[in-house]
Chains A and B, each alone.
Chain A
């Protein structure tokens, strides 16, 4: 894996990849600022980007603590969710009876609104990090389980036949074919889970917490500091992107063959 960030070619590639998004974002922010100034919108209705920046500057000494809490909850929840997802996937893919019994229940589990469940989790697990980690895990296990089970079940039959002809037992078939074949699907599921993890942690904190970006939002709302709410929103977006990017890097390291052609094209 080569990330030639230092070189001119690398910078050009980065600009080509993310330039258009950055330009669009800058235009939207500028338009927003102009709108608020021209129509003189009240800051508790819609604060201007400059006002949000000010809000960030005022509270920047408080933010690291909140970010640490939320990120820790998101990462832990993602970890537990992924572990649960993989376990369920193995059972679902390996045992047809489990598949028939569990699959409908899993889908139902995803229809329960997390805002309804979160207060209950706080009753069960208290105000600490645990209920937030549980929220993230409950949110994250599903895409991981579905994608991984799919990957495990769609291992190439002919490849399985090939290693079986070599005398491979069930465990070897799993090790040489099914698991590597399912890895890309697992990472697809994990990416979806990662994108929602920070949001899940914030929803958990929102109901009741002693630290975290969710708490920061509740406090900002009760004092009508909409600018600070937006500060949290931007931070949540940035953290989500960070987590997503981390999973992407992990995927590249764990499944290098998936990126072979991309490397050739960009070389």
Chain B
């Protein structure tokens, strides 16, 4: 077996804020195998996003190593396909051009990049919206477009930072089912950051729980049932038991699914 898709060892990060030293991440070790789907859950500010930014090459950590496919990702962007929290669609590019952005940055000629993007519009439920401006799309569509853009970045490793956090609960559930379908057609290694425990257990093979700041890994729970999963599993005993274990690791009794985070999509 070759190097794991993601390998993080002894990762530490300290930054200064208002004259004080803040330790965001403290000794995180994480390995994600090729084709594996790992969800990272933890309270706000536990360093989940810091970890993703390090792997995306955007943040140089104060200590430790981070490798993608056996290559150090520290200070080296371009190894992964990163999807930040906000959809960050470029308002000056139509849907098709937004989707093709990663390919164009990687030097694929514009025409070929857009042809490859166009071919996936159907799979991502965006058929007929190739020429739409982001401002004309609903929240769910924008998120699917952002995901399509991420899938088209020439990398087998996806880093998703709360990709559905801004969506309402119903849309989010639909996106879960749909993301599993897409992954069945276009398999990838995925590291998903979320604070929705149910989302983590529905989507991932393994749920890694982080502690509050400074972020440390406190537990790793294998999700029951093989992928892809039906939405109905959330009420099954094995699922509920796994959820209870994740919640216990989080040190929270109540469901941390945050409500009221819905954002009205522009143009909806």
- A residues near B, CB below 8 A? 156, 158-159, 161-168, 172, 176-177, 180-181, 183, 255-257, 260-261, 264
Q: Which residues of B lie under 8 Å from residue A165 when comparing CB positions?
A: 56-58, 77-78, 80, 82
- B residues near A, CB below 8 A? 53, 56-58, 77-78, 80-82, 84, 86, 88, 90-93, 101-102, 104-106, 133-136, 153, 266-267
Q: Which residues of A lie under 8 Å from residue B58 when comparing CB positions?
A: 161, 164-165
What is the CA–CA distance of A177 and B267 in the complex, to the nearest angstrom? 22
Majority secondary structure, B binding face: loop
Which chain A residue has the least Cβ–Cβ distance from B159?
A165
Q: A162-B84, A164-B77 are in contact. Are A257 and B91 (CB under 8 A)?
A: yes
Contact B101 A163 (CB under 8 A): yes
Q: A165-B58, A165-B82 are in contact. Are A260 and B136 (CB under 8 A)?
A: yes
Shortest CB distance B267–A (Å) = 7
Contact A158 B88 (CB under 8 A): yes
Shortest CB distance B184–A (Å) = 25
Q: Which residues of A lie under 8 Å from residue B77 when comparing CB positions?
A: 164-168
Beyond the given pairs A162-B82, A165-B57, A257-B91, 7 more chain A to chain B contacts, judged by CB atoms under 8 angstroms and listed by A's residue number, are A159-B90, A161-B53, A162-B84, A165-B82, A176-B104, A177-B90, A257-B92
In the complex, 20 of the A-B residue pairs with CB atoms within 8 angstroms, ordered by the A residue number, are A158-B86, A159-B88, A159-B90, A161-B58, A161-B84, A164-B57, A164-B58, A166-B82, A167-B77, A167-B78, A167-B106, A168-B77, A176-B90, A176-B101, A177-B90, A180-B90, A180-B93, A255-B92, A257-B133, A260-B135
Which one, B93, B105, B133, contacts A260 given CB within 8 A? B133
Of A164, A180, A264, most buried by chain B (CB within 10 Å of CB) is: A164
What is the CA–CA distance of A198 and B136 in the complex, to the nearest angstrom? 38
Shortest CB distance A60–B (Å) = 45
What is the CA–CA distance of A260 and B92 in the complex, to the nearest angstrom? 10
Contact A166 B153 (CB under 8 A): yes
Which one, B78, B90, B104, B136, contacts A264 given CB within 8 A? B136
Which chain B residue has the least Cβ–Cβ distance from A177?
B90
Q: Which residues of A lie under 8 Å from residue B91 when comparing CB positions?
A: 257
Q: Which residues of B lie under 8 Å from residue A177 when comparing CB positions?
A: 90
Contact B84 A158 (CB under 8 A): yes
Q: A180-B92, A255-B92, A260-B135 are in contact. Are A163 and B105 (CB under 8 A)?
A: yes
Which chain B residue has the least Cβ–Cβ distance from A166?
B105
Which chain A residue has the least Cβ–Cβ distance from B85?
A158
Contact A183 B92 (CB under 8 A): yes
Shortest CB distance B246–A (Å) = 28
Closest 6 CB pairs of A and B: A167-B78, A165-B82, A180-B92, A165-B56, A166-B105, A260-B133
What is the CA–CA distance of A157 and B222 in the complex, to the nearest angstrom? 36
Of A156, A158, A167, A176, most buried by chain B (CB within 10 Å of CB) is: A167
Q: Which residues of A lie under 8 Å from residue B153 when comparing CB positions?
A: 166
What is the CA–CA distance of A21 and B144 in the complex, to the nearest angstrom? 46
What is the CA–CA distance of A245 and B102 in the complex, to the nearest angstrom? 37
Which chain B residue has the least Cβ–Cβ distance from A163?
B105
Shortest CB distance A163–B (Å) = 6
What is the CA–CA distance of A176 and B89 in the complex, to the nearest angstrom? 12
Q: Which residues of B lie under 8 Å from residue A163 when comparing CB positions?
A: 101, 105
Q: Which residues of B lie under 8 Å from residue A264 when comparing CB positions?
A: 136, 267
What is the CA–CA distance of A213 and B70 in the complex, to the nearest angstrom? 72
Of A156, A164, A165, most buried by chain B (CB within 10 Å of CB) is: A165
Contact A166 B101 (CB under 8 A): yes
Q: Which residues of B lie under 8 Å from residue A168 when comparing CB positions?
A: 77, 105
What is the CA–CA distance of A168 and B57 in the complex, to the nearest angstrom? 11
Q: Which residues of B lie under 8 Å from residue A156 when comparing CB positions?
A: 88
Q: Which residues of B lie under 8 Å from residue A183 when comparing CB positions?
A: 92
What is the CA–CA distance of A168 and B93 in the complex, to the nearest angstrom? 17
What is the CA–CA distance of A167 and B153 in the complex, to the nearest angstrom? 10
Q: A158-B88, A176-B101 are in contact. Are A166 and B106 (CB under 8 A)?
A: yes
Q: Which residues of B lie under 8 Å from residue A255 when comparing CB positions?
A: 92
Contact B86 A261 (CB under 8 A): no
Shortest CB distance B61–A (Å) = 15
Q: Which residues of B lie under 8 Å from residue A260 when comparing CB positions?
A: 133, 135-136, 267
Shortest CB distance B116–A (Å) = 15
Shortest CB distance B150–A (Å) = 10
What is the CA–CA distance of A166 and B93 in the complex, to the nearest angstrom? 17
Shortest CB distance A262–B (Å) = 11
